[in-house]
Amino acid sequence: MKPPSSGNLRFVLVADPGLPSEMARDLAPRLPADLRRRIARGIRWQADTVTAPLAADESCPRRAAPYTLVLPPGRSR
């Protein structure tokens, strides 16, 4: 899938409490400029962080932690 060439894209880094969350908060302010430079110059990126315990499912190690995708009003997947 080709990324859009213009517009606003917001994403959220979800990290475990402690060091992973600190690293995400440190990285988030730098990511928009890096993404703009590497992927699409016309996009305004916004990075946010959320701290949440991410429990691994030991019965299925390849399964990702559950998540909720939040889209702006009027947008669909």
Is the pTM higher than 0.85? The answer reads: no
Domain boundaries, the chain: 12-51
Q: How far is CA 75 from CA 32, 36, 45, 70, in A?
A: 22, 22, 17, 10
Q: At 8, which amino acid appears? A: N
- Report the relative pairing of strands 7-15 and 43-51 from DSSP bridges: parallel
Render pLDDT for 22-76 as a digit per residue (tens, 0 to 9): 999 999 999 999 988 888 778 889 999 999 887 765 555 555 555 554 545 554 4
- pLDDT band of residue 77 (cuts 50, 70, 90) is very low
- Other C-beta atoms closer than 10 Å to the C-beta of 16 total 15
Question: Residue 17 — φ and ψ, nearest 5°?
Answer: -60, 160
